[in-house]
Amino acid sequence: MKHLLSLCLLLLGSLYAAEKPNVLFLAVDDMNDWIGCLETTPRALTPNIDRLAARGVNFTNAHTAGVFCAPSRAAIFTGQFASTTGCYTTANYFYDHPEIRPLQVSFAEGGYQTFGGGKLFHHPEGAIDQRGWTEFYLRNQSQRENGWPLDSWSDEVPFPDPFPNSIYNKGKKVTGGLFLEWGAVPNEKEEELADTMRTNWAVQKLKEKHEAPFFLAVGLYAPHFPNYCPQKYFDLYDPATIELPPYKEDDLDDLPEKIKKQKTNRKNLHHKGLEELDAVDDAIHGYLACISYADAMIGRVLDALDASPYAENTIVVLWSDHGYHHGEKGDWGKHTLWERTSNVPFIWAGPGIAEGKKTNTTVSLIDMYPTLLEQCGLPTTPHKLEGRSLAGMLTDPSTAKHQKVYLPNMEPGAYAIIDRQYRYIRYADETEELYDVRKDPNEWTNLAMKPEFDDVKTLYQKRAPKKFAKPAFKLNKHKHLILEGETFRWEVPDKK
């Protein structure tokens, strides 16, 4: 009788596991809202992302949880904003907050196999949370022995010839991570690119037999700079006909003095330089080409899923860690509280999710963790999740309740509050910006100094945290990173 009971429990457990959906978690880096299904200008050619949107729910008003790679990814994998964890500029939440159960550990504790590869966390040595993975893909042994750096553009991957390649950098010594570099590599070298290798690894995982439900997370580095990809993706576009984003020459004039000075300097450094070289369209061409390359890799993974036994029972989530400026408000890059940094592609598809729906409900990437907990029946986390579950609106987007979403900046006390009508920005020095995004989608007119909007500002301030955590301890890979065979750990002697 005891053995019969054990067998029944085992069968029930297997049945329960079989009913749990698999999750395909697709991340892209620095991809703004120029994808085809978001109908923006300029618009990249993204047929594979578009077909995913056509079979799921496309959030057109989705916003990042951090203003660049490290804090955004820390927030996504912890379900907590930087104002709680202190990860304003770092991804290493697992050092200061080992008590946090990260997303992949929640899946592991919920009975899932967990597979990860590529840029899911930030990319330097020591930045990947090793806990909870059944397998984490690194393309060579040296990566495992050197703290698991991403190394997307290390020596063994193909580069354009000549190098540096872009007009902006010709004749210059390239420093600072190949910023504003673009160029084509030969088509026949596509399989040698790091993102292609990560994609092929994910495709292979979908061909394998899995006895338990799986969480398969794949992070592409594209379209992060340098904008290098095979020539065929450049050939999709004619730079002479690329529509440039809207610019306003005096756009910075009504900003608070400190941010005005910072962004004027940045505009003079990058945007004006590109204008003088008549290369704004060339730089955007490289970015669009890399979006199309990332889209092609996503297409490979989606094709593999469709051909697999898991096609009908897999939730697909596509997200970008943040957007990217291409001269809007004089900026090239991220790190801002404006729309170009915050608005991101965000698409869900799969069992129980409405098909072919689009919603402009304001949502945040912080909402992914609680949504996946609900959809996949994962155990409750020991730490508080600061997002809200989107499970109900994924089933029926018409039931969505509108909200104001919060976006912390890179220091305590600085943030944006965003909804479908306004974007309120407050800096650490208590200066402000306010934009009516319905009337002014380009955020050209700062309303913060107009007395008639004082009540609006007060209302939006209420959505901000009452307290802000102090910045997390800054770890130094040369001093604090301890390599141990194929793993690593952080150790600070005076913090033992």
Q: Is the peptide bond before 226 cis (omega within 30 degrees of 0)?
A: yes
Percent of the chain that is helix, strand, coil (3-state, to 5): 35, 15, 45
Q: What does the alpha-carbon distance between residue 331 and residue 327 come to, in Å, rounded to a whole number?
A: 5
Tracing tokens 């020539």 back to the chain, one arrives at 231
Contact partners, residue 217, CB within 8 Å, separation at least 6: 25, 27, 104, 114, 115, 116, 117, 120
Could you tell me the two tokens for 366? 């912080």
Catalytic residue list contains 8: no
Nearest residue to 112 via CA among 365, 296, 315, 302: 315
State the CB neighbour count (10 A cutoff) for residue 277. 14
Inter-residue contact 56 to 349 (CB < 8 Å): yes
SS3 86: coil
β-partners of residue 185 are 230
The one catalytic residue among 37, 87, 97, 122: 122
Decide: residue 482, CB within 10 A, 0-12 exposed, 13-18 middle, 19+ buried. Answer: exposed
- According to DSSP H, which parts of 91-193 are helical? 93-96, 103-109, 141-145
Strand ranges (E), 241-378? 314-320, 325-326, 332-333, 346-349, 357-359, 363-364
Distance of CA 453 to the CA centre of its chain: 33
β-partners of residue 217 are 25, 116
CA neighbours closer than 13 Å in the CB half-sphere of residue 246: 10
Separation in Å, CA 494 to CA 466, 479, 480, 482, 491: 31, 12, 11, 15, 9
Could you tell me the two tokens for 267? 């505009």
Catalytic residue list contains 376: no
Q: Are strands 22-28 and 214-219 parallel, antiparallel or unpaired?
A: parallel
The one catalytic residue among 37, 69, 87, 229: 69
Residues marked as catalytic: 69, 122
